[in-house]
Amino acid sequence: MKKITLKDGSVREYEKGTSLSRIAFDISGRLGKEAIAASVNGKMVDMSSSLEEDANVEFYTFNDEEGKQVFRHSASHVMAQAVQKLFPGTKLAIGPAIADGFYYDFDSPVKFTPEMLEEIQKEIDTIVKNDLPFNRREVDRKDAVDFFKSCGEDYKLELINDLPEEASITYYQQGDFIDLCAGPHVPSTGYLKAFKLTNLAGAYWRGNEKNKMLQRIYGTSFPKKSMLEEHLFRIEEAKKRDHRKLGAELDLFSILEEGPGFPFFHPKGMVVRNELEKFWREEHYRRGYEEIRTPIILNRELWERSGHWDHYRDNMYFTKIDEMDYAVKPMNCPGSILIYKGKLHSYRDLPIRMGELGLVHRHELSGVLHGLMRVRCFTQDDAHIFMLPEQIKDEIIGVIELVDYFYNVFGFKYRVEVSTKPDKAMGSDEIWENATSALEDALKAKGMEYKINEGDGAFYGPKIDFKLEDCLGRTWQCGTIQLDFQMPEKFDLSYIGEDGQKHQPVMIHRVVFGSMERFIGILIEHFGGALPVWLAPVQVKVLPITSRHTEYAHKVVEALKNAGIRVEIDDRNEKVNYKIREAQGQKVPYMLVLGDREVENASMSVRHRSEGDMGSMMADAFINKVNEEISSKKIS
């Protein structure tokens, strides 16, 4: 008998050779039906695999990220099978799972068209209906080469030749279709109930423009039709909420040909930005941070000392001043370090918390630029905390609580990941292990669940990442806490301890918004442009019905301005219903309609952009209502 240890710590015994599928059904009928793949001692395997030794076993369904990856990679194989059947002579390149879907690259004598996607879709439906099993086979290199050479699959041969000599080679077969693949895959094509092919694109083989241009077909897949329909609905909703579209319609920002990747914020966009920065400053002052500002350009020697020159040079911009090399800063930390280093510190001074809304520049390829979400210059709401080693846990907890407070203000749910040492990193394994343990200890002290994200830390230290979830269920990387033992050593930072000797402080790098530009883009999409009253560029629109109501309307505007409310008047000679529709299109939270009755009673007819007519109110009552929403940062 062999023992398996499940994720919950429970232990079960099974005969050697028992399939993982049978084990899953033994645990529960539902798990048996829904399990897509499993991991045995950390290695992903098919459900048909058998138990050969004592092992830690974890099963994955479509609800798990690992399960989604297996499911959609299997879907790419089915699509490739359909394409090769319909269009003989088509050669296969690669077909990975990606976020929310998959793609496959083809070298075909046929030029694919959008109309052909429907034909491919029908063939896919047939393959799914036939419920063909995915069969894995391990072969030696010579047999693999002979087989794919006989099929004319040049791209597969190139992939095989790039594998190490000692690597095992496997392929998967469903029906008469065979593809080179490490797996795992779903048990059979019948699992892939709901498909949607979404679009066509061109792609160079291996992403190299010197190679041949291939044809790429994108798609997505789900185990239920209802899940596919919900996904497609979210896509359509996301198009309506696209921050680039709304940013132009609401006159918030623009990105122009003269500066690709360098956003221009318009007056209304600056209102949003300034309100966010005001909130940031107030909260950081309350929590013991002091604001600083550091130069955008600093000399090469500094960036060599910090490690950025070796580890981040490809993403930096450079210039020469007085025949010396300088770099535009991609990060704010070296500037904060220089301020700390500029004076002698006692252990009594620590922790020192320095906050900076610092403009940084990073070179991004033009193909990945995307509105405010991926830019070449952005403002980080950075802070750097210099502390005693015994203060680490409390300071990390303090940052976690700050991040939690900020995200709750905006109504965001979030998940937490701990990112560990990357392949290219500074410092010893021992230092990294100590730093990673400190981050995990703080999260455990707060009772927070988190996921380990192997190898995704910064080059100078591990980090906690906070990933926001918006109203469409999409996640966005925003807040980060990075624990750093490296920079203090590289810059010879010190403080005088109780013993009168010099000691090295520990450093935290952290952001809450992450990038001001990106966070604004997220807010625009999350709220569909209808920002909360405290952030709305125009909080109230005053709409006199005719010209004889204009004088009173201007008095109302003056009263609102004096109360600190952002207000505009629309006194054009247009019908009031037209003015209302336009104000609603501009996502203005409140509209005040003023006619004869309002002039006579010194009142106002109040409309809300989503609730509609709210009846008549006196000026003082309305001002108090709006200011209460502003001060409480009400989000709906």
CATH number at residue 73: 3.30.980.10
The CATH number of the domain holding residue 611 is 3.40.50.800
Distance CA 197, CA 200 (A): 9
At position 346, the amino acid (one-letter code) is: S
Burial category of 608 from C-beta neighbours within 10 Å (exposed 0-12, middle 13-18, buried 19 and up): middle
Q: What is the chain's length?
A: 636
Residue 377 lies in a domain: yes
Residues 439 and 576 in one domain: no
Neighbours of 258 (CB within 10 A): 7
- Does the active-site annotation cover 486? no
- The answer to whether the beta carbons of residues 586 and 556 sit under 8 Å apart is no
Tell me the per-residue pLDDT of 87-124, one tens digit each, with 9 for 90 and over.
999 999 999 999 889 999 999 999 999 999 999 999 99
CA distances, 141 to each of 145, 171, 179, 353, 431 (Å): 6, 11, 14, 58, 42
Regarding whether 549 and 591 lie in a shared domain, the answer is yes
Query: CA dist 439 to 387, 400, 463, Å?
Result: 15, 10, 7
Q: Is residue 507 part of a domain?
A: yes
Residues 510 and 588 in one domain: no
Which of 404, 464, 456 has the alpha carbon at shortest distance from 435?
A: 464
Same domain, 494 and 573: no
- Cβ-based burial of 575 (10 A; exposed 0-12, middle 13-18, buried ≥19): exposed
Q: Would residue 176 show up in a list of annotated catalytic residues for this protein?
A: no
Report the alpha-carbon distance of residue 418 to residue 534 in Å, rounded.
33
For residue 362, indicate whether it is catalytic.
Answer: yes
Cα three-residue angle 91-97-101, rounded to 5 degrees? 105
Residue where a domain terminates, one of 238, 254, 280: 238
**Do 188 and 113 reside in the same domain of the chain?**
yes
Q: Does residue 8 lie within any of the structural domains?
A: no
Which candidate in 509, 518, 549, 579 is catalytic? Answer: 509
From the list 362, 541, 549, 566, the catalytic residue is 362
pLDDT at 474: 86
- In this prediction, residue 551 carries a pLDDT of 94
Residues 560 and 622 in one domain: yes
User: Which is catalytic among the residues 73, 463, 579, 609?
Assistant: 463
Residues 521 and 553 in one domain: no
Q: Which one of 478, 493, 526 terminates a domain?
A: 526
Q: Which amino acid is at 96?
A: P
pLDDT at 166: 78
278 is catalytic: no
Rg for the chain, CA atoms, rounded: 30
Q: Domain with 283 in it: what CATH number? A: 3.30.930.10
Q: 3-state DSSP call for residue 588?
A: coil
Q: How many domains does the chain have?
A: 3
The answer to whether residues 438 and 518 belong to one domain is yes
DSSP class of 293: -
**Full-prediction pTM beyond 0.95?**
no
Give the pLDDT confidence score for residue 240 in this predicted structure: 92
Domain-embedded: residue 204: yes
Report the alpha-carbon distance of residue 263 to residue 256 in Å, rounded.
8
Asked about 509 being catalytic, the answer comes back as yes
Residue 109 lies in a domain: yes
Same domain, 424 and 284: yes
What whole-number distance in Å separates Cα of residue 320 and Cα of residue 326? Answer: 6
The active-site residue out of 374, 376, 384, 541 is 384
Flag whether 425 is in a domain.
Answer: yes
298 in any annotated domain: no
DSSP string for 187-247: SBGGG--EEEEEEEEEEEGGG-TTS-EEEEEEEEEESSHHHHHHHHHHHHHHHHH-HHHHH
Q: Are residues 368 and 433 in the same domain?
A: yes
Amino acid 428: pLDDT: 77
Domain that holds residue 94: 66-238
For residue 463, indicate whether it is catalytic: yes
The question of whether 142 is a catalytic residue gets the answer no
Q: Is 400 in the same domain as 479?
A: yes
Pairing outcome for strands 540-544 and 590-594 = parallel
Pick the catalytic residue: 333, 376, 526, 586? 333
Choose, from 46, 105, 179, 382, the residue flagged as catalytic.
382
Which segments in the chain show pLDDT lower than 70?
Answer: none
* Active-site choice (380, 482, 486, 539): 380
Residues 521 and 545 placed together within one structural domain of the fold: no
533: its two tokens: 């009253």
Domain annotation covers residue 586: yes
Structure tokens at 143: 């047999």
